[in-house]
A and B are shown apart, each in its own frame.
Chain A
Amino acid sequence: MADLKRQIIEQLNLKDVKPEDIGDDQPLFVEGLGLDSIDALELIVLLQQEYKIKLANAEEGQSVFRSVRTMAQYITEHQPKTI
């Protein structure tokens, strides 16, 4: 999850945020880290680029990007098997 936090910070250019500042279960949007709909689209590309996971539509992002933990779970469940 630490890797994922680093990737999120880099993708969204969250200059003043350190990975340890983001709690595993902290909400990423609005009241939590304060992300918005553009960030959700950026995260969709992050999943595609880093984990080869393609979300069907932007609405699906709402549940996937609830927190770093929900994102990590989604990645584990959906990552293409390389074996």
Chain B
Amino acid sequence: MYIQAAAGISPQRSFEAILTQPQNYNGNRLSCQEPDYAQLIDPRMIRRMSRIIKMGVAAAKECLREAGWEVPDAIITGTAYGCLADTELFLAKMIENKEELLTPTAFIQSTHNTVGAQIALLLKCHNYNNTFVHRGFSFESALLDAITLIKEEEISTALVGGVDEITPVSHAILSRFGLYRKEHTDSAALLNTPGKGTMAGEGALFFALSASPSGNDCAKLDDIYTFYKPADRGAVKEQILSFLQRNRLAVKDIDLVITGENGDVAGDAVYTALKTGVWGNAPAISFKQLCGEYPTATGFALWLAVHILHTGKVPGLSPATKPRRVLIYNHYQHIHHSIYLLTAC
């Protein structure tokens, strides 16, 4: 599987900006650096779009532009929460107006597949279109869908994206569940000051996946694997080792490990154990200080890995040689675990 382009909208302006001056956030969230959408999306379509739809559509368009594609064979998105702002708007109006005098726009746009559908509409693309909504597996499921379609030779190109937003309502509710730090935190220091909870994040990252090399690819996605609710840390280790084995690799073959620490002591314990138990001295970086924690944050990690392999530069490290092989490991809420393996092209 070749990745011809990786683009999107995140709390960081660009990969180059991460290398020179990463954007830091003080508070309890990392919000996306959004472009001027009016320059990117037809005004007739934009008037009904909530923020997440604009983010998703703009990210998809940029990805297609970088890949030089007009219409992909498949459009597949992953989103854990879907279009929250429209959902909240319709719900609030419904309750306030006692189910009377409601308008359709927010309801229509609240549907989970709106981002994928709007991209298809914009491109007049009649091809395969699917949306996965499974919490911390949403983005991975979308990738697996694309990979299996490619393997069956049903398609040869796929546009795959992971999209989630923070809204004031979702932030308030998730805070009450104890997901985020109570005290204001500096994102740059998030991982160095372990505490209870993390900082919220969001993003819309899209990837142009292709069955065959184009001669101009950013990276190659060799394998992806997910596992659900492992019994304990030992089981996590076992899964990672068997993943390496099925790719006929040892830890020493990995040039860079990218892991999903988020500053929450309980959640980070797994990463600490793996550091001593599996990775050892392999060069390693983490990514959630750059994008925050959200269910499809692995989209950001994959974007980061692709750019690292493409440029040979690693944020926060100065490796003697360009990394050729990168492994990403992440877990969301101890429940959804994912591993990615990529190589340079």
In the complex they form, do A and B come into direct contact, defined as C-beta atoms under 8 angstroms apart?
yes
Binding site for B on A (CB under 8 A): 11-16, 34, 38, 41-42, 45, 48-49
Question: Are A38 and B104 interface neighbours, CB within 8 A?
Answer: yes
**B102 CB–A CB distance under 8 Å:** yes
Determine the interface band of chain B, counting residues with CB < 8 A from chain A.
10 to 19
Within 8 Å CB of B48, what residues of A?
A: 13, 38
Query: How far apart sit A34 and B44, CA to CA, in the bound complex (Å)?
Result: 8
Binding site for A on B (CB under 8 A): 43-44, 47-48, 101-105, 108
Main secondary structure of the interface of A (DSSP, over half): helix
Within 8 Å CB of A45, what residues of B?
A: 101-103
Question: Are A14 and B102 interface neighbours, CB within 8 A?
Answer: no
Question: Are A15 and B43 interface neighbours, CB within 8 A?
Answer: yes
Query: How far apart sit A16 and B45, CA to CA, in the bound complex (Å)?
Result: 12
In this complex, what residue of A is CB-closest to B109?
A38
Within 8 Å CB of A48, what residues of B?
A: 101
Residue from B47, B101, B104, B108 within 8 A of A13 (CB atoms): B47
Number of A-B contacts defined by CB within 8 Å: 23
New A-B contacts (17) at CB < 8 Å, excluding given A38-B105, A41-B104: A11-B103, A12-B47, A13-B47, A14-B47, A15-B43, A15-B47, A16-B43, A34-B44, A38-B104, A38-B108, A41-B103, A42-B104, A42-B105, A45-B101, A45-B102, A45-B103, A48-B101
Query: How far apart sit A15 and B44, CA to CA, in the bound complex (Å)?
Result: 10
Within 8 Å CB of A12, what residues of B?
A: 47
In this complex, what residue of A is CB-closest to B100?
A48
Query: How far apart sit A38 and B108, CA to CA, in the bound complex (Å)?
Result: 9
In this complex, what residue of A is CB-closest to B104?
A41
Query: How far apart sit A43 and B48, CA to CA, in the bound complex (Å)?
Result: 15
Question: Are A49 and B47 interface neighbours, CB within 8 A?
Answer: no
Identify the 9 closest CB pairs spanning chains A and B, nearest first: A13-B47, A45-B103, A41-B104, A42-B103, A49-B101, A16-B43, A38-B104, A34-B44, A45-B101
In this complex, what residue of A is CB-closest to B108?
A38
Query: How far apart sit A53 and B43, CA to CA, in the bound complex (Å)?
Result: 30
Query: How far apart sit A48 and B108, CA to CA, in the bound complex (Å)?
Result: 20
Jot down 16 A-B pairs with beta carbons below 8 A, ordered by A.
Answer: A11-B103, A12-B47, A13-B48, A16-B43, A34-B44, A38-B48, A38-B105, A38-B108, A41-B104, A42-B103, A42-B104, A45-B101, A45-B102, A45-B103, A48-B101, A49-B101
Instruction: Tell me the smallest distance from the CB of B54 to a CB of chain A, in Å.
Output: 13
Query: How far apart sit A38 and B101, CA to CA, in the bound complex (Å)?
Result: 15
Instruction: Tell me the smallest distance from the CB of B212 to a CB of chain A, in Å.
Output: 40
Query: How far apart sit A48 and B102, CA to CA, in the bound complex (Å)?
Result: 10
Query: How far apart sit A45 and B103, CA to CA, in the bound complex (Å)?
Result: 6
Query: How far apart sit A16 and B41, CA to CA, in the bound complex (Å)?
Result: 14
In this complex, what residue of B is CB-closest to A40?
B104
